[in-house]
Structure 1
């Protein structure tokens, strides 16, 4: 009889001599990048030296260009220095890529602007310096601050458990507020409310202005503002009024008080990773019934699957963690600061599998919603109210339901070779 090929049999295996050869190639590339970086740095310094001293007529020749209704004058030493600076950054990025195997195209794009603004200070002075500081500082803050704030709040919440308050419910509410700020949900509510209110207010002011001074040229703006407010009202106010966005799916079913009670008595601990990068950039907190990942609170009793969703685009590779509950509803975290593919694709999935109390032998069921939803309709038929049913699943012993799920969706992945 023919043997059935197991999917793992077709996976390419790393041969030691192939790994050694790849490492040698990377080492050679790193040396080449370092040599080119040194050459680019030297040429950039030469250009800057001639620019400061005014020597050598070749480097003092000026190029004129017109853009944005303004005449731009750039001496040759400036253009050569900027080109050398950009080449230096490209070489350093190439060295970084071969060393860490990480892609950061957005950061590379911003860094490529540094030579132009930095060397431009030698010709234009303080105004360009202020623009450069605001632009680069703002972009750097937008790219790095949300992740750093989230991680610091996660560790702050973990440290606060050492001094538990007497009132358990009050402490649970405090924990939920901290979790909300990990992903800045309160700030998002304020921004969305402000953006929505802006449209009808400006529409009313436009009507008042038109009644005072009729101006038909800009009259079309008023119905446009009211149309935008009407079309976005449902989604905007649903987001604003939904409590505790850090508890997805459940915040649309349970009340605010019920969600607070679910965290009473929960003591979180940090999941230990062997890899230092995972430990630093993707902190995971675990309690008896809950897991906190990237500011999202996940019920271990309800989770039937947790897996890494890789997002590959032209500019970069990123990843997020997706999951599904017993009722077939899905949720996902924000994009992680660390791409969870490559060398991280072994340890992280194992930790995610440990979080779930339901273990599917057949991983093909992990992303199928319809069969899970159909199964959910058959459990606890005596409870018709959705809120009561979910509360029962979260507060009572449901080991028999979990085993039933595992048996129903557990067979068929591994095929014995005959």
Structure 2
């Protein structure tokens, strides 16, 4: 899997340049306004300079954060792994369309590999995901898109907008596919317990870090090496009705 190619397909390098360019433009206008004020006493463009200065200040942290991300196509993982480590994680991964569940026009939006799922230009770890589903959406302007959500063992919630609306039958098929193939539990079972589950997973992850004496990155690497062991551990933290559903389906 070529992450660089995937990044360019989603135009992330271009977005970085545009973001950086907008910030530099605001800085330039601010500095120019100050120079004109000090040198010539020109106050005509002072307010514009002040506004651009405020904009540059507000944009600074988001701009630095956005441009420093190595691969936007790997949410969560891009915060704790280096660029080379991310490339190594998906080095031999090959993705195939989920042909039995999807209409041909959306085959390219949802694909499956050995350890990763491809959804709307992003990669999701099968080994770290406990819950996952596509859900229906509606919009008053008729531009609704289908979001796909996953809950990791870390308590991290990954949400991806596919940029395309998938019919309800295909959503049901995809959710069923996630459960039958990878034991990733669908939303219909989560119900109103989502926040409770996310918090429970975050606490479990923190406890594991403390008990094993590992940092976040080291623990994620450990889980990826033996995902079934930790999946069973997390399943024990789920509400009884979810465990019962998993046992009978």
Contact persistence 2:116–2:125 (CA under 8 A):
yes
Worse overlay, 377-386 or 224-233? 377-386
C-alpha root-mean-square deviation of aligned residues, in Å? 2.4
Compare the two structures and name the one with the higher helix fraction.
1
How many angstroms does 1:208 deviate by?
A: 2.8
Query: Is 1:256 aligned with 2:113?
Result: no
Correspondence list, 1:95-134, <5 A: none
CA distance in 2, matches of 1:356, 1:198: 48
Show the counterpart of 2:92.
265
Worse overlay, 377-386 or 358-367? 358-367
- Tell me: CA distance 1:379–1:271, structure 2 relative to 1, closer, same or farther (3 Å): same
What do the CA deviations read for 1:279-327 (whole angstroms, capped 9, x no partner)?
3224222221111111100000001111124443321233211111111
Show the counterpart of 2:212.
382
> Which runs of no fewer than 5 residues in structure 1 stay unpaired?
1-171
Query: Is 1:247 aligned with 2:78?
Result: no
Contact persistence 2:149–2:158 (CA under 8 A):
yes
Counterpart among 328, 332, 341 of residue 155 in structure 2: 328
CA distance in 2, matches of 1:210, 1:326: 55
Correspondence list, 1:106-255, <5 A: 172=1, 175-255=2-82
Q: Which structure has the bigger radius of gyration?
A: 1
What do the CA deviations read for 1:103-128 (whole angstroms, capped 9, x no partner)?
xxxxxxxxxxxxxxxxxxxxxxxxxx
Worse overlay, 380-389 or 325-334? 380-389
Show the counterpart of 1:292.
118
Counterpart among 100, 103, 106 of residue 281 in structure 1: 106
CA distance in 2, matches of 1:308, 1:382: 34
Number of paired residues? Answer: 238
Contact persistence 2:72–2:78 (CA under 8 A):
yes
Contact persistence 1:306–1:322 (CA under 8 A):
yes
CA distance in 1, matches of 2:91, 2:97: 18
What is the TM-score when the length of structure 2 is the normalising length?
Answer: 0.84
CA distance in 2, matches of 1:355, 1:254: 27
